[in-house]
A and B are shown apart, each in its own frame.
Chain A
Amino acid sequence: MGNADLGIAAPDKCLRTVDLGRRALLLATPALLARPVWSAPAEPRVAALDWALTETMIVLGHDPIAVVAAADWPRFVVEPALPATTADLGLQQEINFELLAYLSPDLVLISPFLQRLAPQIELIAETVNLSIYEDTGSPLALRETVTRDLGVRLGRDAEASRFLSETAADFDALAARAASLQHRPILVVTFVDSRHVRVYGPASLFHNVLSRLGMQNAWTREVGYFGFDMVGIEELATIGDAHLVTFDPVPAGVLPRLAESPIWSQLDFARFDRISILPPVLMFGALPSALRFGRLLIDELESRST
Chain B
Amino acid sequence: MNMGSRELRPWHLALPLLLMNLALCAVLVSRAFGGDCLSAPIDYDVGKMVLFHAVLPRLAMAILCGFALAFSGAILQQVLRNPLASPTTLGVDAGARLSLAITGAFIPASLGIGRDLVAILGSLSALGLVVFLSRGRNFSSINLVLAGLVVSLFAGAVSVIITLANDRYLVGLFVWGSGSLSQISWVPFLELVPRIALSLLPLIFLWRALEVLEIGDESSSSVGVRVARLRFFAVAVAVLLSAFVTASVGVIGFIGLCAPMIARLAGARRFRDRLVWSGVLGAMLLWLTDAALQVFGGQSSAFLPTGAVTALLGAPLLLFMLPRLRFFAPPQALAVGMAGKPVLPPRLVSLVLIAIVLLLGLTLLVGRGPFGAWQLLGPSGLEAVWLWRVPRWSAACAAGAMLGVAGLILQRLTGNAMASPEILGISAGVILAVAGALFFFGAFGASVQYLVGTLGGLSVLVLILALARRSGFAPERVLLAGIAMTALIDAVVGVLSATGDPNAILLLGWLAGSTSGVGVAEAQFALVAAAVLILPVLLMARWLTILPLGAPTAQSVGVPTKKARLTLLVIAALLTVTATPIVGPLTFVGLMAPIIVVYLGLANTTLAIGASALTGALLMALADAAARTIAFPILLPTGVTAAIVSCPVLLILLQRRWRFA
Contact = CB atoms under 8 A, between A and B. Distances in A.
Interface of A: 16, 20, 23-24, 26-29, 32, 71-72, 75-76, 87-99, 101-103, 112-117, 119-120, 123, 133, 190, 192-196, 198, 221-226, 228-234, 237-241, 249, 251-253, 256-258, 260-264, 266, 268, 284
Interface residues of B, number: 83
Contacts of B165: 91
Interface string B412-456: 000000000000000000000000000000111110010000000
B298 to A, nearest CB: 9
B8 interface: no
A228 B303 CA distance: 11
A225 B42 contact: no
A18 to B, nearest CB: 14
A123 B388 CA distance: 10
Contacts of A221: 301
Interface string B477-520: 00000000000000000000011111101101110101011010
Nearest to A228: B500
A189 to B, nearest CB: 12
Contact of B183 (A26, A115, A195, A230): A195
Interface of B: 37-42, 44, 46, 49-50, 52-54, 104, 108-115, 164-165, 168-169, 171-172, 175-176, 180, 182-185, 187, 301-303, 367, 369-373, 378-380, 384, 387-389, 442-446, 449, 498-503, 505-506, 508-510, 512, 514, 516-517, 519, 627-628, 631-637
A81 to B, nearest CB: 18
B634 A226 contact: no
A254 to B, nearest CB: 9
Contacts, number: 222
Contacts of B176: 193
B185 A262 contact: yes
B373 A26 contact: yes
B367 A98 contact: yes
Contact of B516 (A93, A103, A133, A284): A93
Q: Determine the main DSSP class of B at the interface with A.
A: loop
B633 A237 contact: no
B644 to A, nearest CB: 14
Contact of A93 (B49, B302, B379, B637): B637
Nearest to A223: B301
Contacts of B168: 72, 75-76
Given A196-B182, A261-B184, A263-B184, A230 B41 contact: no
A34 to B, nearest CB: 13
B443 A93 contact: no
Contact of B372 (A29, A94, A252): A29
A29 B577 CA distance: 40
Nearest to A70: B633
A276 B378 CA distance: 50
B184 A234 contact: yes
B450 to A, nearest CB: 11
Contacts of A95: 516, 635
27 contacts: A27-B372, A29-B371, A71-B634, A72-B168, A87-B633, A91-B509, A92-B505, A93-B509, A93-B514, A97-B516, A99-B633, A103-B370, A113-B503, A115-B443, A115-B445, A192-B172, A193-B115, A221-B301, A224-B499, A234-B53, A239-B40, A251-B104, A252-B109, A261-B185, A262-B49, A263-B53, A266-B44
